[in-house]
Amino acid sequence: MFLESMEYPLPSLWGPDPIPLPQRFSKIKKSLIAGREAELEASWARLTLALRVEVEHIECLGAHLIPSVEFADLKDPAQTSRFGRDLRRYGVGVVRKVIPRPEVDSAVRDTVRYLDGRRKRYDTGQPEPESVNGNQETKPPLLPHFQAPKQDPTCFDCFWTPAQVRCRAHPNVLRVQKFMMSLWEAQPDGRVETRFPITYVDRLRVHGGGFGADTSDIGSLNMCNTTSSNPESNFAWPRSQTTPREPQQQLQSQLLASQAADDWITALQSAAGIIAQVDNGSLERWEPDGYGRSQTYHQVFHGKWEEYDPWECTGRASSTMDLYNGYGACTIFRMFQGLLALSTIEPGMLRLLPSPKLATAYYLLRPFFAPKNQAPDRPSGAEWDAYLDARNWELQHDPDTTIHGAVPGHAQRLTERWHPHLYLRRVLVTLPTLQPGDYILWHPDLPYHISSNSCHGLHTPSTPGADDISMLVYIPAAPLTQTNALYLARQRKAFRRGQPGPDFDSSGRGTVFEDINVMPSEKEIAELGGAPALRAMGLQPWEPDDEDVFVPSEQIEDSKIETPTANEVVRIANLILFPD
Query: Domains in the chain, please, with CATH?
Result: 2-479 (2.60.120.330)
* 8 Å CB contact between 256 and 222: yes
The pLDDT assigned to 240 comes to 31
Average pLDDT over residues 171-179: 98
The pLDDT assigned to 7 comes to 32
For the purposes of burial, counting CB atoms within 10 Å of the CB of 279, is it exposed (0-12), middle (13-18) or buried (19 or more)?
buried
* 8 Å CB contact between 301 and 37: no
Does residue 475 or residue 322 have the better pLDDT? 475
> Which among 505, 539, 484 has a CA at the least distance from the CA of 131?
505
The pLDDT assigned to 409 comes to 86
Query: Percent of the chain, pLDDT > 90?
Result: 57
The pLDDT assigned to 212 comes to 37
CA distance 505 to 325: 10
What are φ and ψ of residue 557, in 5° steps?
-60, -45
Average pLDDT over residues 392-418: 94
pLDDT band at 315 (very low <50, low <70, confident <90, very high): confident
Question: Which pLDDT tens digit goes with each residue over 425-467?
Answer: 999 999 889 999 999 999 999 999 987 654 443 333 344 433 4
> Which residues make beta-bridge pairs with 186?
none
Question: Which pLDDT tens digit goes with each residue over 235-275?
Answer: 222 223 333 444 444 444 445 544 443 443 444 445 567 88
The pLDDT assigned to 1 comes to 29
Please compute, for residue 244, the number of CA atoms within 13 A of its CA located in the half-sphere on the CB side. 2
* 8 Å CB contact between 410 and 261: yes
Query: Percent of the chain, pLDDT > 70?
Result: 71
List, as one string, the DSSP characters of 423-443.
Answer: -HHHH-EEPPPBPTT-EEEE-
